[in-house]
Amino acid sequence: MRIMEVSFLFEQFIAYITHMRGYTPATVSWYRQTFNAIQKDLHMNSVHWINQFTIENWLMDGRIRKKWMPNTFIFHHKHLNCFFEWMKKKWIIERNFVKEIEKPRLEQRLPRRLSKDNSELLIQTTRSFRYTYKFEKYKNVAIIAIMLLWWL
């Protein structure tokens, strides 16, 4: 393995993803964020010092000490994986060990929208309530229907 400066390699990688892969400036800035964060925390100068243990500990430290959400962990993992895969293609490193680092499971979240059955159930439930005024029933059904229309 040749000893090369990590910041120089990263700039070459940025040029590659910008000009060859056509990544947008926003995507490139996300890659820079990952690189700047790892440089700030680990102060690595050469590829010689990078190994699976170092990267895995940095990711775990972010998850535990910095309280990263699973998405943030996966975000950094993805960018590091792409960078190390590029270095492997260029014969700078022998293997991409970032692939072997386990990613956390994403949290279970509420669905972004209701299914058609649940939407119909919500409208039926709104209709079945007792209202003081007849107009109030139609108003509430209309409000729920408009909300469902915009959110579905």
Question: For residue range 60-115, what is the model confidence (pLDDT) as tens digits?
Answer: 999 999 999 999 999 999 999 999 999 999 988 888 999 999 998 888 776 677 88
Q: Residue 1 to residues 44, 47, 88, 94, 126: CA-CA distances in angstroms? A: 16, 9, 11, 7, 68
**Whole-angstrom distance, CA of residue 120 vs CA of residue 142:** 13
The predicted model gives 9-21 an average pLDDT of 94
For residue 78, count CB atoms less than 10 angstroms from its CB and return exposed for 0-12, middle for 13-18, buried for 19 or more.
middle
| Encoded tokens for 55 | 């990267």
d(CA 79, CA 76): 5
Q: Is 19 exposed, middle or buried (0-12, 13-18, 19+ CB in 10 A)?
A: exposed
* Packed helices 25-42 and 70-89: angle between N→C axes, nearest 10 degrees: 90
For residues 36-58, average pLDDT? 86
Residue 20 pLDDT > 90: yes
Query: Where does the pLDDT of residue 1 fall: very low under 50, low under 70, confident under 90, or very high at 90 and above?
Result: very low
What pLDDT score does 125 carry? 94
At 24 the pLDDT is 94
